[in-house]
Amino acid sequence: MHSSSRRRLAAVALSTVLAAAGTACSSGSGSTGAKGADSGTYTIWDPYPQFAKGSAWTELLDKCGTEAGVKIKRTGFDTSDLANKTLLAAQQGNSPDVLIVDNPVVSTLAEAGVLTTTDDNKLDTSKVDTNLLAAGQVGGETYGTPIGANTLALYYNKKVLKEAGVDIASVKDWKSLTAALEKVKKAGKKGITFSAIGTEEGSFQFLPWFWGAGAELTELGSVQGVSALTLWKDWLEQGYAPNSVLNNTQTTSWQEFTSGDYAFAENGTWQLAGAEKAGFDYGVLPIPAADGGNAAAPTGGEFVTLPVQEDTGRYTTAQKLAACLTSTQNLYDTDTTLSYVAPTSEVQDKQVAANPELKPWVDAVKAAKGRTSDDLGTEYPKISEQMWKAVQSALSGTESPKDALTSAQAAVK
């Protein structure tokens, strides 16, 4: 690593609260430290500690290692720990060979000098949907390739809508969605639940409405942004959404929906298994933009990246491992396991052919947008914090939507 990269890394690491060391799930044992290029053992870090040795995920890692002629030393970390541990490892010259990391973190690690670019590491991103790839781009450079994506859409309860006389085909924009919520309330049922909690989850759930109004993250207090927050505020005041959204996580919001009383819930692909077990017929609708069409929802999911190594001889094998993990067949198998939509149209078509119910999710992902897109990079967390504070302030009645977002924009600047 060049001295300039080390200085950037030190600056980021000093401003990052390093998580206390804990026990992480791993498919092996011993040190995760990288050795020489001829050591025969390559390290992979991922945010999937739920997959233990013998799972389909770890078997895929081992398979890719076998094809590359090496053994894999894999460690699974909690998502919240992974970025900090990666920064610490880079400081110590002990980075993993392959790092799979939540997409908003890519820009932070890239600006710290931790990651190689795809120009350097030769990862092929030519088939990846451009809106998904954008989450891993900073300053005109691309740092890795997505392994899969999830996003937000509206789940709906078919029975509740039928009893309220709502035809889901009529819900095409904010006006028609609000009209549907009004009918549902008059029929004695509950309208829509979501998460507006004062954390990143709250910003994540607000973004489709913010972007769907035509607003930009660089101008939180715009007329368009205010209209999105006013929509949510009006829903609470009219009783179309519960006051519990102020404290709802995406999990507790989902629990409200599975009670069977709500017409709609904003949530993600990761709830598909739970939806099948909910005990009622449901459907999925991409979140509508203010004037129709699909709103851009934020992308979740991870990127496969190759960290900077002092021993550059390791890159060739590391690239083979990353290419194996993101091959067409392996993407299909992995994204099915993770309940992700694949990042390429080729694999998306295979997913829909196997499960037609994924079609609304593929449509939502194609309209989705990375939180750090528009070259926001490490500015996004600062903007997001002020956004969720504004949402909390407006929905609790402390400030008007306009005043809350104007204050938020001033705080960002």
Residues 3-149+301-366, CATH architecture = 3-Layer(aba) Sandwich (3.40)
pLDDT, position 25: 33
Please state whether beta strands 71-76 and 25-26 pair in parallel, antiparallel, or not at all (unpaired).
antiparallel
pLDDT interval class at 306 (50, 70, 90): very high
Same fold, 3-149+301-366 and 152-297+378-412: yes
Query: How far apart, in whole angstroms, are the C-alpha atoms of residue 71 and residue 67?
Result: 10
- In the predicted structure, residue 18 carries a pLDDT above the cut 60: no
Architecture of domain 152-297+378-412: 3-Layer(aba) Sandwich (3.40)
Cβ-count burial of 302 within 10 angstroms (0-12 exposed, 13-18 middle, 19+ buried)?
buried
CA angle, 292 then 298 then 302, to 5°: 145
- Residue 116: HSE in the Cβ half-sphere, 13 Å Cα cutoff: 26
Per-domain residue ranges of the chain: 3-149+301-366, 152-297+378-412
Mean pLDDT of 371-398: 92
User: What does DSSP assign to residue 304?
Assistant: E
Q: Between 336 and 394, where is the model more confident?
A: 394
Lowest-pLDDT range, 20-29, 182-191, 268-277, 394-403? 20-29
Half-sphere exposure of residue 78: CA atoms within 13 angstroms, side-chain side? 7
Three-state DSSP class for residue 143: coil
pTM surpassing 0.85? no
- Confidence at residue 26, expressed as pLDDT on a 0 to 100 scale: 30
Mean pLDDT comparison of 164-178, 351-365, 366-380, highest-scoring range:
164-178
Q: In the prediction, which pLDDT does 8 show?
A: 46
What token pair was written down for 246?
A: 């102020």
- More confident position, 169 or 28: 169
Say yes or no to pLDDT of 13 above 70.
Answer: no
Q: Are residues 344 and 129 in contact, defined by beta-carbon separation less than 8 angstroms?
A: yes
Q: pLDDT-derived band of residue 314, with 50, 70 and 90 as boundaries?
A: very high
What mean pLDDT do residues 63-83 have? 93
**Band of the pLDDT at 334, cuts 50, 70, 90?**
confident
Place of tokens 């052919």: 353
In this prediction, residue 22 carries a pLDDT of 31
Distances (CA, A) of 322 to 35, 39, 200, 296: 18, 18, 29, 28
| 3-state class (DSSP) for residue 102 | strand
Cβ neighbours of 188 (radius 10 Å): 10
Which spans in 213-257 are helix H?
Answer: 223-238, 250-257
Q: What is the mean pLDDT of the chain?
A: 90
What local confidence, expressed as pLDDT, does residue 377 receive? 82
Residue 248: pLDDT over 50: yes
Partnered with residue 267 across adjacent β-strands are 153
- Which tokens go with 176? 């028609």
- Give 38's pLDDT tier (boundaries 50, 70, 90): low
pLDDT above 90 (res 29): no
- Residues 201 and 194: their CA atoms lie apart, in Å, by 10
Residue 135, amino acid: A
Question: 């769907």: which residue's tokens?
Answer: 212
Closest CA to 43 of 242, 314, 274: 314
